[in-house]
Amino acid sequence: SVTGLLREKQEKDRPKFLFIENVKNLLSINKGRDFARLLIELDEIGYDVQWRVIDSKHYVAQHRERVYIVANLRSKSGWEVLSIGSIARQVNQATLKQIGNVGDLSKYGGNPQTGRIYFDDGVSPTLNTMQGGGKVPKILVRQATKTGFAEVSPGDSVNVSQPNSKTRRGRVGHKIANTLTTQSEQAVLLDDYRLRLLTPKECWRLQGFTDEQFDKAQEVNSNSQLYKQAGNSVTVPVIAELAKLFV
């Protein structure tokens, strides 16, 4: 364990900072006792700890919630929760204001989306295709929800493992990848409505690695190992942003 390795080192040889990442369930497993034990052990070794659940989607096109723990050798900072405002990229939240509509709404059942005109000083509303109204082609993916399925459009991601499972949820990522695992089980729906598995390089990109870094790894690893490494990795831009706060 991390704490076991640290106990073996003299205090002068222990790293000043630790960056630890784990699944967010670490906070609730065994009613939170496992996480509390980790905090206590780090405190006994001489580290102050801060933590926060962060979603990688703020940095890359992947929905990946993980608890990030930053520990530093004893200081006056105390135990705190990391401020999401200091690490999540800021997005302009201003809403575009509608100033008119040039569409003939009667042709589309009164749908106000058809010809809206907006000021240009805010965030765009969700873009439409084929004038909405449910006319856009989709495929349905089985999942254990109230409807029993999720709608998938081109550009969405689909987890293709255990396709006949009656208990799986959250298979679909709308214009974003689901959390990468160590297996090749994520696909993207193409414009011709065929599913294509993500390549190892695409998985590495979703974790924030450069193509140059991937190419070097590809020279000495099989595809199965590359998928595994991507799934086991931390999201690089998140760790980099955290490091800027403390190092």
pLDDT digits (tens, 9 = 90+) for 30-55: 999 999 999 999 998 888 888 999 99
CA distance 91 to 46: 37
Strand, coil or helix: what is 27? helix
Predicted confidence at residue 128, as pLDDT, reads 40
Q: Answer whether residue 221 shows pLDDT above 90.
A: yes
Residue with tokens 């052990």: 41
Contact between 89 and 59 under an 8 Å Cβ cutoff? The reply is yes
CATH 3.40.50.150 residue ranges for the chain: 2-89
> What CATH number belongs to 2-89?
3.40.50.150
pLDDT at 118: 53
Q: What are φ and ψ of residue 222, in 5° steps?
A: -80, 165
Q: Give the tens place of pLDDT for each residue, 63-88.
A: 999 999 988 887 545 445 455 444 55
pLDDT at 68 (0 to 100): 93
What is the reported pLDDT for 172? Answer: 85
Helices (H) then strands (E): counts for the chain: 6, 12
| Of the ranges 158-167, 180-189, 218-227, the best mean pLDDT one | 218-227
pLDDT, the chain, mean = 77
Query: pLDDT tens digits, residue range 22-31?
Result: 999 999 999 9
Instruction: Note the pLDDT of residue 100.
Output: 56
- Residue 187: pLDDT band (50, 70, 90) is confident
Tokens representing 69 are 């723990």
How many angstroms separate the Cα of 97 from the Cα of each of 111, 115, 119, 132? 17, 14, 6, 20
Residue type, 103: G
Residue pair 56/62 in contact by the 8 Å Cβ criterion: yes
To the question of pTM greater than 0.85 for the whole model, the response is no
* pLDDT in the model for residue 75: 55
What pLDDT digit, counting tens, does each position of 93-129 carry?
A: 455 556 555 556 565 455 555 555 555 555 444 334 4
What is the residue-wise DSSP string for 7-57? Answer: HTS-GGGS-SEEEEEEEGGGGTGGGGHHHHHHHHHHHHHTEEEEEEEEEGG
